[in-house]
Amino acid sequence: MTSPVSLELGTLCPKMISAWILILAEFITVLSCGEAPMPRHTVKRFSGLYTGPYFDPTTPTNITAQLGTHAYLPCKVKQLGNKSVSWIRRRDAHILTVDRYTFIADERFQAFLVEASNTWTLQVKYVQPRDAGQYECQVSTEPKMSHFIQLNVVVPKIEIVGEAELYVKAGSTVSLRCVISRSLEEPAYIFWYRDSERVLNYDKTLIDIRMERIGADTTVGTLIIYNSRREDSGNYSCSPSNLDSASVMLHVLNGEQPAAMQHGNSGARTRPADWRWVSLPLALLAARKPKLLLLAAALLILIACHESDDGK
């Protein structure tokens, strides 16, 4: 009764044993390979996780550009193959570009490929405040892949330090300071205008024009008028190469008025006018800083005495 079984076993066993040995051998190979560090290296060397396009992790997500400059939004795609890259404006879901082609009626938008770095860059020329927001770099895989970049637009601030109207006495040195802050890019130059006529510093003992960068985002332009005369009065504008201008009204008050009055011309009308010019800012001053009023009054008396001396 047992013989058929043993016979069966006898014929089966050698086949089974050899099969088991093969399986065991495979298993040992797999195990030993798993323990060895080699496969990990392989994964790294061939970026084996990605079979198609993928975004380079160094692609930025936040770009800041100054108003009026060109902004560059880079989208780094590896293993792009023959897939397309589109740029889409999040605000209105407008497709801006597909590969090299621009799909918006705004010539400021353009995309170009830098092959060396696998980068499709969206260029936005003359950035406006309304350009700020999110932009999507989309790769035409199935499903689509997207990378988002936030574009920030900084608007520089420009102002001439002090009041909008400036009153000085003839002969004094006038210094106008034009401060441009929050500017990522230093202006190439700052022009000064008086009533829309360019102010030049041919003679540096009369007029000096300076420009200096202070800190990472601030530039100061200075116009100095030595020994100011009545003719120097006017609307002064500070006009940087890359920004709007700022302006100030300069009134140079003539200390020679009493002498003119003696010669019988319109000086009689001018002098009270001069005092009115002085009293207005004084009133403003008094409203803001009452303590300074006393000092200013003393100064006025001094000026008045000086003028009456000149008159003799």
Ligand X SMILES: *[C@@H]1O[C@H](CO)[C@@H](O)[C@H](O)[C@H]1NC(C)=O
Please list every residue from 100 through 139 that binds ligand X, using CB under 6 A.
none
CA distances to 172, 210, 286, 301 from 296, rounded to whole Å, are 16, 30, 9, 9
Taking the complex as a whole, the smallest distance from the CB of residue 151 to ligand X amounts, in Å, to 10
Taking the complex as a whole, the smallest distance from the CB of residue 108 to ligand X amounts, in Å, to 21
Residues in contact with ligand X, counted by CB under 6 A, come to a total of 9
- Pick the closest to residue 176 from 235, 257, 102 (CA basis): 235
C-alpha–C-alpha distance, residues 258 and 266, integer Å? 11
Strand 54-55 with 71-78, pairing: antiparallel
Binding to ligand X by residue 146, rule CB under 6 A? no
Binding to ligand X by residue 279, rule CB under 6 A? no
Residue whose CB is less far from ligand X, 200 or 294:
200
Residue whose entry in the numeric block shows the structure tokens 């003799």 = 312
- Using CB under 6 A, which of 247, 250, 252, 278 touches ligand X? 247
- Pick the closest to residue 121 from 143, 90, 97 (CA basis): 97
Q: Count the Cβ atoms, other than its own, within 10 Å of residue 282.
A: 18
Binding to ligand X by residue 51, rule CB under 6 A? no
Q: Are 213 and 261 in contact (CB under 8 A)?
A: no
> What does the per-residue mask of binding to ligand X show for 6-45, with x meaning CB under 6 A?
----------------------------------------
Residue whose CB is less far from ligand X, 118 or 152:
152
Binding to ligand X by residue 3, rule CB under 6 A? no
> What does the per-residue mask of binding to ligand X show for 248-277, with x meaning CB under 6 A?
-x----------------------------
- Using CB under 6 A, which of 110, 237, 254, 257 touches ligand X? 237
Residue whose entry in the numeric block shows the structure tokens 């000085």 = 168
- Using CB under 6 A, which of 196, 215, 264, 276 touches ligand X? 196
Query: Exposed/middle/buried for 39, CB within 10 Å: 0-12, 13-18, 19+?
Result: exposed
CA 188 to chain centre: 15
Binding to ligand X by residue 59, rule CB under 6 A? no
Q: Binding residues for ligand X, per CB under 6 A?
A: 62, 64, 82, 152, 196, 235, 237, 247, 249
